[in-house]
Structure formats: C-alpha cells, structure tokens
Structure 1
Amino acid sequence: MLDTISDLVGKVEKIARKPWVTQEMMSKMEERRKWKNVNNEEGRRKYRRLRNELKRATDRAKKEYLEKICNEIMEFQRTGRYDLMYMKTKELGWKENHGIQNVGIEDSQGNRIVDQRQVLKIWENYISELYDRPNRPETLEVEPEEEVDTDEKGPYILQSEVEKAIKEMRKGKATGDDDVPGDVLKLLGEGGLKTLTKLMNIIYESGEWLKDFTE
C-alpha cells in the first residue's frame, strides 16, 4: 500500500523538527534506524558508525545555528531593536509568557519591567543562560580507529590547544562528572600539561576511556 501511494503522489520528505537538521541528516537517521534492527556484527558496526557520524554532524550544525542566532540577537541589542531581539530569541525557545507582551518585559518572578536598562539586563541574563545551560550530549559509542574514514579523523590534540582551552575556562565554573574544578587545571605546570595532553591523545587514538572517566 505504501509503495502504491509513493508511486501515485511521490515520496514525501520528512520535515525536520529542529532548524539545524538537514535532509541529508534525516536520510542518515532513516538508514540508521534500519541498521539498528539488523542483529549481526555488520549491522551493529554500520549502526554505530552512522550514529557517530550523525552525532558529529548535528553537534556542528547546532553550534553554528546557535552562534548565528545569538550574534543576530547581540546586534539587535546593540542597535536597540528590542522587538526584533525578542522575536529572534523566541527561535531559541523563549516562552511566550516570559517575553514582551504590550509594554516592557516580565522577569523570572513575573514582574513587569519597563525600564529599558533593566529590560536590557534581563535579556543579557537570558542570553548568558543560553550559553551556560548544561547540554549533556547523548552517549557517544567510540568507534575503533580502523572503522573510521580518514576524512573523519581529526588531527592529534596539541598541548597549545589544551592550554588555550584551560585558560578560557571561567573562574568558579561548576565541576563536571569528574568533580575536578576547572580552577585546579589552571594550576597545572608544564609537566602537568604534557601529561594531560598525552592522556587525551591516548584516549583519542585508542578509542578507550579510562575507567575513572566512565564510573
């Protein structure tokens, strides 16, 4: 029956629920779903590969989308176009009952704020929350290196990259699952940075996480 309908009206493409999801991603999702039901080694390998390809692609696309929207919001803020700023922020999930209605804006306690400086502060706090909001990715099952296409492999992690990432961490940032405060990492000397970089490359190259990282 479905084949007959497809012949008569053509194949209807699914509509992505998220604005950063492309039709190519949707096709891979469908292919991944098919391989998920194949209960053999080849099926598990292809499912794992598609799953990880999709994870990488959607992470990149979502990051680019959010950066684009937030840059537009900041520009509207800079030029005082709060109406357009509000409309653009709604694209990021701002709820109607927390936004501008007729005049001003409601704060988190539901109080109407009309002073433009306070309104601006509320927007700034909200945008900051968008960046700081915890966003735990779904578990990524690491593929063996031989199963990954050469084009999908990234370069080895450089010590300068590790050092830069640590320097850019905010002071007093909440700890992650490892309970290691970011401020402690900032105290690492040359030897500590070399050891940490070596450890990260071992994990990257082998595809195996240390036991302490997974408990």
Structure 2
Amino acid sequence: MVFREELRQALGGQEVLPDNWNTTAKVIRETGRKVLGVSSGRKKDDKETWWWNEKVQESIQRKRLARKKWDRERTEESRQEYREMQREAKIEVAKAKQKAYEDMYARLDSAEGERDVYRLARQRDRDGKDVQQVRVIKDREGNVLTGDKRVMERWKEYYDEEVNKENDRESRVVEANKVEKEVERISKGEVRRALKRMKRGKAVGPDDIPVEVWKCLGEMAVEFLTRLFNKVLESERMPEEWRRSVLVPIFKNKGDVQNCGNYRGIKLMSHTMKLWERVVEARLRGEVSICEQQYGFMPRK
C-alpha cells in the first residue's frame, strides 16, 4: 500500500514506529499529507453539498445551461428563462436542505445518524460555523451577544458549566471490597481486539490521525500501540495531544436558535485515545459484575 511504503521510507526503511508519540504522530501526519494531500477547504460559507439530491442536481444543471444560453444570446427571452431557472433551483435547494436537516435531526440520537452528525461536526469545526450559520447567541440573562469573540466566550462559559457541574442525585453506588493486585501489562491481543471494534469513517480530533491509519499499518501499528499503551499505564500520563478536543455545537432543531441549551455538543477527540479507552473499558467489563436489568451502555442488549 502506498501510504505504508511512504511511511516506511520516512522511517529510514524500518518497519518499526518510534516509541515517542510526538515523533510518530508527526511522521504519520507528514506522510499522510504527502500521499493523500490536504483539502483546500471551501471558498464560500454556503457551498455545502452533502444535502443535495437528484432534483437539486437537475435544477442546478438546468440553471447552468440557461446561464450559458443567456451569455451566448443576450436576449430578453433567454434572460427571463435564466431567471426562472434560478428561481426553480432556489426552491429545490431550500426544500432539499430542509428535508436533509429534518432527517438528520430525527436521527440525532440514533446509531444510524451518528456518522452523519460527527462528519458534519468536523466540517463545522473546519468552517468555523454552526449548522445554521448563527453568529449571535444569548447570555444566561437572555441578552443577545454579537461578534465572534463574545459568542465564543459565551460558548466557553456554557460548556464550562455543563461539563463541570456536580450531580445532585444521591449516590447509590454500593461499597465494594478493595482488591490490591499487580496490573498486568497490556497485550497485543487486547490492542487487536480494540482496534477491530473501532469504526471507520468517523470525524477525527485535533491530532488529525484517523483510526484508519492504525488499521492500514496492521501489526506495525499493533506493536507500537501496545508499547505506547503500556507506557501510559506505567507512567499514569497520557500524551498532551490527547488532552485536546474540539467541541462543536449542533442545533437540535427545537426551541430558540440563540439559546445555548438548544444545541448538542459534539466532541471531536483523538482516535488513538479512544482506542486506549476501548482497551481499558474491555478490562473493566471483564472485572465488574453488572446486573441483568442494566441496559444503558450495554452493547448487544
């Protein structure tokens, strides 16, 4: 595979990734840019096409043909025809966009819509906007804030409160006997199983390294990740890059569009950290007894 071969050359012909996370991450990103290139992004804010359907494509094509005809003939008849095609295209675009967003909002909390939501969140992060291109938001007293700086400060304040507030409910966790024993080193088998469970096509976090990289590299990745995860386990410290994430608010399509509480926060995190969490989670599930009545966060139930 081209990516793997280019990475091997970047490592001086070796088939072993460096133990240092920062070094490995840098080499992977540089190789990815060299092999796959970098998207130039959008030139205009309103050039999304993910919601396009067949009717939109047909109406846009008719509009383009009408424009060419008008440019060629420059008659009043061709101008009117072009304006009519413009109007029809605008209607089809509005209808398709509304339907696409309604479908997405309906699937917002379902597994079916998860991939679409995260892909849209990543796109919003790159474009620096939310779903409806809202540039104003209300503060906690209901006053309207404008300007990117004030709006960003309000979002920061809102999510600081949301993620750090205490749960007032009485704790019902039953005290358990403490068991002190040596923690076993993470095995390659654990990493392989966790990697197999990771889904493809998810939006990446700030480190720009998707899980597809590790799947592509096969055993080279398994060996590196096993060494890395054991280093994290022993040192009790994770790479600083894993601590960064991007929180993108997506409107729930209900209530006041200027109210922060009517948005769902989508957090884009490092895929490698998620992989580490999968390994830890699998160990915990093997140790913890869960009653049959528990259905939340229980796969295949």
Could you tell me the TM-score, scaled by structure 2's length?
0.26
Q: Choose 1 or 2 for highest CA Rg.
A: 2
Q: Which has the higher strand share?
A: 2
Q: Which has the higher helix share?
A: 1
Could you tell me the TM-score, scaled by structure 1's length?
0.34
Q: Which has the higher contact order (CA 8 A, sep 6+)?
A: 2
